Structure 1
Amino acid sequence: MTRCRLRATIAALSTGGRLMLRWRVMVALGLLAAVPAAWAGEGMWTLDNLPVKTLQEKYGFTPGAAWVRHVQGAALRLAGGCSGSFVSADGLVMTNHHCANECLAQISTPQKNYMAQAFIARSEKDEVRCPEIELNQLLAITDVTAQVNAATAGKSGADFIKAQRAVIGNIENACAGKDARNLRCEVVSLYHGGRYDLYKYKRYQDVRLVFAPQQAIAFFGGDPDNFNFPRYDLDVTFLRAYEHGQPAHTPDFFKFNPAGPKAGELTFVVGNPGSTMRNYTVAQLKSLRDDRLLPLYGYLSEMRGVLWEYSRRGPEQAQQAGDELFGVDNSIKAFTGQLQTLNDPAFWAYKQKQEDALKAWVDADAKRRAEYGDPWASIARAEQVYAGLATPYRMLERGQGFDARLFQIARALVRGAIERAKPNAERLPPYRDSNLPALEQFLFSTAPVHPQFERTTLAWSLEKLRQALGVDTPIVQQVLGKQAPSALAAQLVDGSKLASIAERRKLWAGGLKAVEASHDPMIRLALKVDPAARAVRKQVEDEVDAPLRKASELIARAQFARLGTSIYPDATFTLRLSYGQVKGWDEHGKPVPPFTHFSGLYQRATGSDPFKLPADWINARGKLDLRTPFDFVTTNDIIGGNSGSPVINRQGEVVGLIFDGNIHSLGGAFWYDARLNRAVAVDSAALIEAIRTVYGDQKLAAELVNGKR
C-alpha cells in the first residue's frame, strides 16, 4: 500500500473504542432503552444546521449568522486528512505537528532532520514550501439532493453507479468551471444518502512551513501516553498560505487568546472529522470488523515490523521511515480500541435494540412499509457479497500489494491517461477535471523518493500479494512470474525513471499514447495490474456499493421522517462544529483534572525516549512560568480528522488546539458518552509561552497575539 493510499485508508477507519465496562453497566441498568437523538454535548454538526436552541438553553449563547460566517471563513481542511485554521490576517495557519510530519520529512536532509530539530523561519524568505500540502477553505454549501436523486431514480447496480457518477461529475465540474486551480468542489453524501450537498472550497496549494517544534516535544510520551491523559505535548505546526507568491490576505481568522480557557468554559471545536459509523446497521458493523478492520489490523501489524527493522539500519533509514512508522503505530493503537468495542456483546445488544426500534416504527404503518421496504436485508446481502471480494479488492484496487511511492505515481499516470480520454462525467472521481489539480500536486511533488526504502516496502507487499491471492492466481503469475518478490522489487525500483519530475511531466502531457509506449518497468506493472484492479473495483461498486447506497438512503429517509434534523450526519471529512466545555472526568473513582502544567512536564521527563526533553526545553526551564497550563481536556465530540482543529470560545478566539482524545474517545466511531469521552488540546497559553521563551520566536508570537505580521 502506498503512503498516500495508506493515509486515506487509515483516515477512514482510525477511530476505535474500549467501552466494555460501560456498555455492560448501561445495558444491565436499562439505560439504553430510550436513547435521545443526541446526548448533551454530542454531535458533529454541519454549520447550516447548528443546535441553536440547545446552545441557547444550556449555555445562553446563540451563534448568529455573522459568527457562523466568520467561523466558516477561518476554518480550514488539510486535504491529506487533517484540520487547521487561519490565525492571522496574513495567511498564518495553525495545525498539528503530526499533520505536517510528511512535509517535515520531505524537506529534511541528512544534514538537517526537521523531525529531530525545530524549524523556525525567522523571516518570510526562510518559509519553505511543503511539497504536497493543500489547504481548503469552505466558501459555500448547496443542497443538490433533488438533482442527484432525479438522476438515479429507478436505477440499480451498474446503472445506478454510472448515473450517480455522471450527475456528481457534472455538478462538480459546473461548480469549479474553468477555475479548478483555485476552486475545489465536492458533492458529499450526508445521512448515508439521505441528503447530498455541494461543498465549494477555495484551494491553496502554495503552503509554506513557518514553525515546527521537535517531534520529541510534539509527541512527548510517545505510545505510552498516546490516547491518554495527563499529556504534555506541544503538538503544533504553523504554516502560511501564499497566493501569487505572496502571503495570502485572510480577513477571516481566529484571534489568539493568550490566557487560554478556564475550567467549565464553553468551547467549540471547528474541524473536519473524518469518518464515524454511528448510523451503520448491524450487518455493516459486522462487515467492518470482519472484512475491513481485522485484515487491516493484521496488515499494519506486519508493516510495523518491516518499518521498525528498516529504521534500525541507521539514522538516514530512521528518517525515511519515521513518518509512516508514526502513523502505523498510532493507527494500531486506535484499531485495538475499536476492535474491542466491536467484540463486546453489550455493544451489539445496544445496536440491535436501536435498529429494531426503527424497524418497528417502519413496520407499524402500511404506508411506511410500502415506502421503505426492508433495506436492512439488502445491506446484509451486499455485505455478504463484499466478504468474497474483500481480499482482491484490498490487494489490487486499494494497493496493499504494491507499497511503493513509485507505483502510486505510475498508477496515477496510467489511470490519468485512460480516464482523461473519457468525457468528464464518466471518469473515476479522482480524475475529474475538478480533482486534477490535487492529483497533479502529488504527481509533480518535489518530495524525494528513497530507493532503498521503496525496495524494502515493495518487496514485502509483493510477498503479501502472493500470500493473500495465492501463487496460482493469474494476476499473481502475471506480476511475479518466476521471480522472487525481493528480486522483482529491486528490478522495478532500480529500473524506473519516475523519481524524475521531468519524466512524470512528459508522460502526463503525452497522455495514453506516451504511457502505453513507455518502457518504464513501474509503468508496465501499473498497466499490467490495472485491468484486474478495475474489474474487482467494478464488482464492488455494482454489487456492493450500489445496493448499500440505495438501502442506506431508505434508512436515512426513515430516520428523517422519524427524527428530522434533530440528528446530525455521520462524519464525512467536511466542516463540523461541536460544542462542549473544559471538564475532567472520573477514572476508576478518581477525578482526572482538566489541565496539566509546565511543571508536570519536567516531573514526567526521564531523560530517555519517549520522555526525553529537547535541549531547548531543558535550557529554558528556569525562564518559564511552570504554572502555565500545558494541555487540557474538553467534552467536545471529535474523531480522526479533527487533528489540528482550533478550540475557540464564544468570542471566536483560539484557546486551544485539538491533537488527540483520551482512551475512551476511541469509541467515538460508534458512540459518544459525555461522562468519559474527552478531547485533548494544547492550551493557547502554552503555545505563546513556548514560542516566546523556549524558541525565542518573538515575531511569530507577536503575529499570533496581534493577528497580523
Structure 2
Amino acid sequence: MKKIAMAVLCVLYGPASVNAAEGMWTPNNLPTAELKEKYQFNPDPKWVTHAQKAAVRLAGGCSGSFVSPAGLVLTNHHCVNSCVQQLSTADHDFIKSGFYAKKPEDEIKCPEIELNRLDTITDVTARVKKATEGKNGEDYSKAEKAVKSDIEKECVGNEKETTRCDVVDLYHGGVYDVYKYHRYQDVRLVFAPELAIAFFGGDPDNFNFPRYDLDMGMLRAYENNKPAKVVDYFPFSKNGAEAGELTMTVGNPGGTDRQLTVSELETTRDVDLIPRLFLLSELRGVLTQFRSQGTEQSRIAQHDIFGIENSFKALKGRLQALQDPEVFNLKQKQETELRDYVKASPERQAKYGAAWDEIAKAQTTYRNIETPLKYIEYGRGFSSDYFSDARLLVRGAEERTKPNPERLREFTESKLPSVTQQLFSTAPIYPELEKVKLTFALTKLRENLGVDNPIVKSVLGKESPAVLAEKLISGTKLGDPAVRKALWEGGADAIAKSDDPFIQLVKQIDPQARAIRKQYENQVESVIDKNSELIAAARFEKLGTSVYPDATFTQRFSFGEVKGWNEKGTEIKPFTEIKGAFARATGFEPFALPASWLTAKDKLNLDQRFDLVSTNDIIGGNSGSPLINRKAELVGLVFDGNIQSLGGNYWFDERVNRTVSVHSGAILEALQKVYNADRVVKELKDAKAN
C-alpha cells in the first residue's frame, strides 16, 4: 500500500486553505476564499443555487444532473443498471444490447428509481439539541428520533407525493440541517449503451486509469405524465475542459469516515470490513457458479455480481488503507492533538474530555452484539427480495398505527412514499436466483450464530438451508406486486390473516430483531451520537466550520482541476482518446467492444477525448455526478476513482487521488455516430446556458 506523507494528510484538523482541492463542501458553506485565491473563482449565490438545483440525487445511492429543460437526466450506466435489467427479458436483454427510446412514447418507467432535487437547506441544530439536552441512552435515542420525525413531517406538509425532507447530521452531530427535496418518482429510461462499453475493461480496469468507458445512462423525470419542466440544468460543453482547468463536481458522496475516532476506525477495520470481504468473496463464488449454468442465469445474476465485485474491490482498498501503520499513526496523532487542546482548559476538559472514552466503550458493546445485529436485524441471514418485502409489510402494518414520532425511522410519514415505491414495484423477482441467495444466507446465519442459537433453531428446525429456502420460495406469493399492495393496504388485519411463509418468517423473528436493534440504538448509536456531538463542539471551538463535514449522502461541491499524476515514476496523462479503446480491445470479455462500435469505427473521430481524470475529491455515491466548469457547463460525467482514491474514505491526497469521468465530447460523439440518437443529441445541443 502506498505510503502517504504526513504533511499532505491534513484532513481533520488542518486549516481548509492547506489544499483547495480537498473537501466535500455543503452548498451553504463553500471555501470561497480558497477558490478565489487559487482559481480566481468567486461563485455568487445565484451560481451556487443554479448548480445546486441542476444536480439531482438518485435515492438508491447515486448522483445525476438535469441536462435539458425537459427533465432529461444524465447519470452512470451502473446507476441505471438495475432499471435496465428490470426492464429486460430473456428475449430482450437491454444489458447486452443497450436501450434507446427513439420516440418520446418509447421512454419506459423505471420501477424503483426516485430522483431528488435539493431545493432548500434549513438549520435546525438548536431545536434538535434542545430536545436531546441532558438525555442519555434510550431517552436520548427516543428524543432525537422523535424531533427529527416531527421536523421532517412539518417540512413535507401536505406535499408528500412531491416533497421529501431529511434531517441530516453534519460534523457528527455538531450541526443538524433539514434538506428539502423535490421528489420525482415517475422516472423513465431514455438511453443506456451496452454493458460491454459501459464497463469496458471490467474488473481489471475498475478503479484504474487509463480507462475507455462510456459509463453513462439517460433518464427523464416526469410529472403529471409529462416530461418535467426544469429551469436549472447543465448544458453540454463539446470541447470539455483542458489540463489545469478548474472543474467542480456536484454530487452526493455516500459517506466518509475522516472524522471518526481511532476506536471507531479500529472497529471498522477489524469487525466490519474483514468479515464483510470474506462474505462477499464467498457470495461471488456462489453466484458465479449460478451464472455459469446458462444464458438466462447469467442475465438475471448480472446486477448482483456487478455490485458484489465493485463492492469487494472498494472495500478491499479501504481495508488496505486502515492496515497501513502510517495512516493509523496519523489518525492517532490528529486525535491526540485535539484531546490535548481539550485538556489545556479545565472547562473544556470537563465538558468534552470523556467523549472519546465513552465512544470506545460503545465500540466494546457493539463488538458483542454486531453478529446478531447484522444477521438478524440487518437481514444478512435472510438475503432475499421476498424477505425484504415481507419485513416492510409486517413492520409497516405495526408502525403505521403509532404516532409519527414513535415509529421506526424508515416508516415515518416523510419516508412512506419511498417504502411504497419499493413495495409496489413491478420489477421482476426471479425465484431461481432467490433460492440460491437465500440458501447461502441461511447457511451463513447458522455458521455465524451457531447451531444452538435460538433464532437458528427456531428458523431452521431440522431442515437444511437449501430445503427451507425451497419451501419458503415455492410457497410465497410476494413476487406479485398486487399481493404486496393488498397486504400493505389491508394493514395489520391483512398481515394477521396472511399465511404467506415469508410473512410468517418475519413475524417469527421480529421480536428478537427489534430487541437487538433497540439494544444497538440505546447502548451504541445513542452513545456515539451524543459524544460525537461533544467532539464536534470541541473541534468547532478550535477550527469553526473552516473544515468540511464527513459525507452523508447529501449534496456536496468538490473543487479541483484536470490533472494526471505520477505513478511510481511514470507520468499518467489526464486524457484518453477513443482510438485507445480500439487498441485495447481483444475481442474477448471484458475487452470486447460491442458490434455497434466496431461498425461505427470509420465514422468516429478517433482522436476525440474519451475519459479524463481530475483532482476532485469524491467517494461512493458521487457516481453520476456532473463534472462542470466555472460557466456551469457539463464537461464530464463522474463514474469512478483511481485505485489510490479508495482510501479517500479516510483521507485525501491531491498528489495521487483522482476522479475519473467520461468526457462530454465523447458522450456526444457516441450518441450521434454509434447510436444514431438524433433526438437526444438535438435536445442536448439545443439546451443553452441560462
TM-score, normalising length from structure 2? 0.98
Contact 2:117 2:181 (8 Å CA) reproduced = yes
Q: Of residues 588, 592, 595 in structure 2, which corresponds to 1:615?
A: 595
Q: Distance in 2 between matches of 1:238 and 1:33?
A: 37
What is the aligned partner in structure 1 of residue 569 from structure 2? 589
Cα-to-partner distance string for 1:180-211 (whole Å, 9 max, x where unaligned): 11110000000000000000001000000000
What's the offset of the Cα at 1:21? Answer: 3.0
SS of match in other structure, 1:203? strand
What's the offset of the Cα at 1:26? Answer: 4.2
Contact 1:76 1:83 (8 Å CA) reproduced = yes
Contact 1:91 1:249 (8 Å CA) reproduced = yes
Cα-to-partner distance string for 1:475-524 (whole Å, 9 max, x where unaligned): 11111111111111011101001111111111111111210221000100
Aligned pairs (5 A) from 1:367-382: 367-382=347-362
One-letter identity of the residue aligned with 2:158: K
Q: Distance in 2 between matches of 1:571 and 1:416?
A: 29
SS of match in other structure, 1:560? helix
The answer on 1:228 being equivalent to 2:197 is no
What is the aligned partner in structure 1 of residue 2 from structure 2? 21
The answer on 1:148 being equivalent to 2:124 is no
Q: Of residues 224, 237, 247 in structure 1, which corresponds to 2:217?
A: 237
What is the aligned partner in structure 1 of residue 113 from structure 2? 133
The answer on 1:67 being equivalent to 2:42 is no
SS of match in other structure, 2:77? coil
What is the aligned partner in structure 2 of residue 265 from structure 1? 245
Contact 2:12 2:547 (8 Å CA) reproduced = no
Contact 2:20 2:35 (8 Å CA) reproduced = no
User: Could you say if the C-alpha distance between residues 484 and 272 of structure 1 is closer, same or farther in structure 2, counting changes exceeding 3 Å?
Assistant: same
Contact 1:648 1:654 (8 Å CA) reproduced = yes
What is the aligned partner in structure 2 of residue 309 from structure 1? 289
What is the aligned partner in structure 2 of residue 600 from structure 1? 580
Q: Distance in 2 between matches of 1:216 and 1:673?
A: 32
What's the offset of the Cα at 1:30? Answer: 11
Q: Distance in 1 between matches of 2:70 and 2:180?
A: 22
What is the aligned partner in structure 1 of residue 441 from structure 2? 461
Q: Distance in 1 between matches of 2:655 and 2:355?
A: 34
What is the aligned partner in structure 2 of residue 194 from structure 1? 174
One-letter identity of the residue aligned with 2:297: Q
What is the aligned partner in structure 2 of residue 653 from structure 1? 633
What's the offset of the Cα at 1:118? Answer: 1.4
The answer on 1:425 being equivalent to 2:390 is no
What's the offset of the Cα at 1:73? Answer: 1.0
Aligned pairs (5 A) from 1:107-506: 107-506=87-486
Contact 1:263 1:594 (8 Å CA) reproduced = yes
What's the offset of the Cα at 1:22? Answer: 2.1
Contact 2:438 2:469 (8 Å CA) reproduced = yes
Contact 1:227 1:661 (8 Å CA) reproduced = yes
Q: Distance in 2 between matches of 1:233 and 1:479?
A: 45
Q: Distance in 2 between matches of 1:443 and 1:564?
A: 43
What is the aligned partner in structure 2 of residue 82 from structure 1? 62
What's the offset of the Cα at 1:373? Answer: 2.4
Aligned pairs (5 A) from 1:535-614: 535-614=515-594
SS of match in other structure, 2:382? coil
Q: Distance in 2 between matches of 1:148 and 1:254?
A: 36
User: Could you say if the C-alpha distance between residues 32 and 121 of structure 1 is closer, same or farther in structure 2, counting changes exceeding 3 Å?
Assistant: closer
SS of match in other structure, 2:504? helix
One-letter identity of the residue aligned with 1:497: K
What's the offset of the Cα at 1:447? Answer: 0.3
Contact 1:257 1:705 (8 Å CA) reproduced = no
What is the aligned partner in structure 2 of residue 13 from structure 1? none
Cα-to-partner distance string for 1:298-346 (whole Å, 9 max, x where unaligned): 1111111111111111111111110010010011111111111111111
Q: Distance in 2 between matches of 1:41 and 1:311?
A: 42
Q: Distance in 1 between matches of 2:255 and 2:45?
A: 27
Q: Distance in 2 between matches of 1:93 and 1:686?
A: 17
SS of match in other structure, 1:201? strand
What's the offset of the Cα at 1:36? Answer: 3.8
Q: Distance in 2 between matches of 1:380 and 1:129?
A: 47
One-letter identity of the residue aligned with 1:309: Q
TM-score, normalising length from structure 1? 0.96
What's the offset of the Cα at 1:31? Answer: 9.5
User: Could you say if the C-alpha distance between residues 533 and 32 of structure 1 is closer, same or farther in structure 2, counting changes exceeding 3 Å?
Assistant: closer
What is the aligned partner in structure 2 of residue 12 from structure 1? none
Q: Distance in 1 between matches of 2:530 and 2:609?
A: 50
SS of match in other structure, 1:483? coil
Q: Of residues 591, 610, 615 in structure 2, which corresponds to 1:630?
A: 610
Cα-to-partner distance string for 1:271-317 (whole Å, 9 max, x where unaligned): 00000000011000001111211111111111111111111111111
Structure 2 stretches of 5 or more lacking a match?
A: none
One-letter identity of the residue aligned with 1:602: F
Q: Distance in 1 between matches of 2:46 and 2:97?
A: 41
What's the offset of the Cα at 1:642? Answer: 0.1
Q: Distance in 1 between matches of 2:466 and 2:252?
A: 40
One-letter identity of the residue aligned with 2:289: E
One-letter identity of the residue aligned with 1:508: W
User: Could you say if the C-alpha distance between residues 669 and 33 of structure 1 is closer, same or farther in structure 2, counting changes exceeding 3 Å?
Assistant: closer
Moved over 6 A (4+): 29-34
Q: Distance in 2 between matches of 1:201 and 1:697?
A: 31
Q: Distance in 2 between matches of 1:83 and 1:26?
A: 32
User: Could you say if the C-alpha distance between residues 449 and 30 of structure 1 is closer, same or farther in structure 2, counting changes exceeding 3 Å?
Assistant: closer
Q: Distance in 2 between matches of 1:178 and 1:609?
A: 51
Q: Distance in 2 between matches of 1:33 and 1:495?
A: 53
SS of match in other structure, 1:565? coil
Q: Distance in 2 between matches of 1:384 and 1:39?
A: 36
Contact 2:12 2:259 (8 Å CA) reproduced = no
What's the offset of the Cα at 1:251? Answer: 1.2
Q: Distance in 1 between matches of 2:400 and 2:45?
A: 41
Q: Distance in 2 between matches of 1:418 and 1:295?
A: 33
Q: Distance in 2 between matches of 1:31 and 1:105?
A: 42
Q: Distance in 1 between matches of 2:13 and 2:193?
A: 47
- Bigger shift: 495-504 or 240-249? 495-504
